[in-house]
Amino acid sequence: MAKTAKQQTIRRVLLVCAPDVPSSETKALEAHILEALADPEYKVIVNYNISVQELLVGDKTLFISAPDIPPSECMVLRKKFNDPKVKVIVVNYNVSVLEF
């Protein structure tokens, strides 16, 4: 009997990079984004630069580059991507993602 491949759940994750935001503000920004996802009438307006990437996690290999952060923060980022409950990841540094 042939083994079947393990089914992998594909989920959508929004990666929000806000490099000019203090660490203390990232949770508040995440809460606003989650509110906007839940309520289409809710708008998020910020007075700083952000970039948003929508990623499908689980069906592709992700190569994530965050050159300006310490290794401990890399591990935190990895855990967030691997956590199936996480829908939004907000970071205060630049991140590049390559999907293949």
Q: Examine residue 58 and state whether it is found in any structural domain, yes or no.
A: yes
Q: Examine residue 66 and state whether it is found in any structural domain, yes or no.
A: yes
| One-letter amino acid for residue 76 of the chain | V
Per-residue tokens: 2: 């042939």
Q: Examine residue 82 and state whether it is found in any structural domain, yes or no.
A: yes
Q: How far apart are CA 50 and CA 91, in angstroms?
A: 10
pLDDT for 3 = 46
| DSSP bridge partners of 62 | 99
Q: For the residues of 29-70, what is the DSSP string, one character each?
A: HHHHHHHHHH-TT-----SS--EEEEEEESSS-EEEE-TTS-
pTM confidence score: 0.83
Q: Examine residue 2 and state whether it is found in any structural domain, yes or no.
A: no
Q: Examine residue 84 and state whether it is found in any structural domain, yes or no.
A: yes
Number of H helices, E strands in the chain: 2, 5
Q: How many domains is the chain built from? A: 1
For residue range 69-88, list pLDDT tens digits in order: 888 998 999 899 889 999 99
pLDDT for 7 = 62
Q: Which residues of the chain have pLDDT under 70?
A: 1-8
Q: Examine residue 5 and state whether it is found in any structural domain, yes or no.
A: no
